[in-house]
Amino acid sequence: MEGVPLEKTKYIWMNGKLIPWDEAKVHVLTHGLHYGSSVFEGIRCYETSRGPAVFRLKDHMRRLENSAKIYMMKLPYTVEELCKAVVELIKVNGLKECYIRPIAYRSYGEMGLQALNPVEVAIAAWPWGPYLGEEGQKLGIRAKISSNIRPPPQSLPMNAKAAGHYLSSILAKMEALNAGYDEAIMLDHRGYISEGPGENIFIVKSGTLYTPPPHASILLGITRDTVMVIAERLGYKVLEQDITRGMLYEADEAFFTGTAAEITPIREVDGVPIGDGKPGEITRSLQQEYRAIVRGEKPEYQEWLTYVE
């Protein structure tokens, strides 16, 4: 199994400057590389009739600031400055649609764990299709409940989007892939459904949507929030509630949400078909609505878009 290399663009924004892609490097003794002491974001920009628009840019940068705060990192840039940098980066790279990856990391200096090294920030952007594949997004994916649980809140603050947290996600993902599945579903320390390695999860039962609450060691996803808002406006009830493995198996529908994964139907868990084993009706209507919103086709959701022009 081999990974797909990412598609290079011209520039990467690094500590306030635009650097050619191949020159955006860090020292091998960077603190963040050794101890996972960095925080990051994943944001998407979509093509609209008014040019490229970044979806919920400020909300992502606010979360980056919160993640940094939790790890006592002082960001050398404000949310406004980081938002401006993203817009500039998309422009200079001439991108229409892209994934945007801001990262703030403890830099080179002290090698001890007292993490006092200055924080540096970089932002890259490149074209990136749906995380679980075009086909997965259309036909649904097969998931496996992982034997790796999400780190409990007394171990790691999982509401921060910190690099080190992804070690447990990587184990879960690899376990699922090695067992022939597309993605993992992780339980929390109490045994309730938490989320995917890089996606939140929803189930649908009798027309109501359920998603795990913050205390289930989830990352508070921005797509999760988006789906909660649009589902309610479409007339569905949405409940943040602990979900058991059994509830997932007997759900009518299930889907993942995330910036990279967008809305991806889950058609099977541990060999058990979800509903009739195909993407459900409510899932498909949410996908359609989400697609229209990010492409600027819904006037009532314009406040979520930052136009690059």
Known catalytic residues? Answer: 161
Give yes or no for residue 162 binding ligand PY5 (CB under 6 A). no
Give yes or no for residue 151 binding ligand PY5 (CB under 6 A). no
Give yes or no for residue 199 binding ligand PY5 (CB under 6 A). yes
Give yes or no for residue 228 binding ligand PY5 (CB under 6 A). no
Is 197 in contact with 203 (CB distance < 8 Å)? no
Q: How far is the CB of 89 from ligand PY5 (least distance, A)?
A: 16
Q: How far is the CB of 253 from ligand PY5 (least distance, A)?
A: 19
d(CA 290, CA 230): 8
Q: Provide the terminal-to-terminal Cα distance of the chain, rounded to the nearest Å.
A: 40
Tell how strand 11-14 and strand 119-126 pair up. Answer: antiparallel
Q: What is the DSSP string of 178-193?
A: HTT-SEEEEE-TTSSE
Angle at 18 (CA atoms; ends 14, 23), nearest 5 degrees: 70
Give yes or no for residue 45 binding ligand PY5 (CB under 6 A). no
Give yes or no for residue 224 binding ligand PY5 (CB under 6 A). yes
Q: What is the DSSP string of 16-80?
A: TEEEEGGG----TT-HHHHH--EEE--EEEEEETTEEEEETHHHHHHHHHHHHHHTT---SS-HH
Q: Which is nearer to ligand PY5, 59 or 110 (CB)?
A: 59
Q: Which among 95, 90, 196, 193 is positioned nearest to 136, based on CA atoms?
A: 196
d(CA 270, CA 176): 10
The pair of three-digit structure tokens given for residue 95, joined into one six-digit string: 């991108």
Q: Which is nearer to ligand PY5, 141 or 219 (CB)?
A: 219
Gyration radius from the chain CA atoms: 19
Give yes or no for residue 146 binding ligand PY5 (CB under 6 A). no
Q: Which is nearer to ligand PY5, 118 or 133 (CB)?
A: 133
Q: Which stretch binds ligand PY5 (CB under 6 A): 7-15, 244-252, 255-263, 296-304?
A: 255-263
Q: Which stretch binds ligand PY5 (CB under 6 A): 218-226, 243-251, 276-284, 295-303?
A: 218-226
Give yes or no for residue 223 binding ligand PY5 (CB under 6 A). yes
Q: Which is nearer to ligand PY5, 12 or 162 (CB)?
A: 162
Q: Which is nearer to ligand PY5, 93 or 257 (CB)?
A: 257
Contact with ligand PY5 (CB under 6 A) among 45, 54, 203, 260: 260
Q: Under rule CB under 6 A, which residues in 163-192 are in contact with ligand PY5? A: 169
Q: Which residues bind ligand PY5 (CB under 6 A)?
A: 42, 169, 195, 198-200, 219, 221-224, 257-261
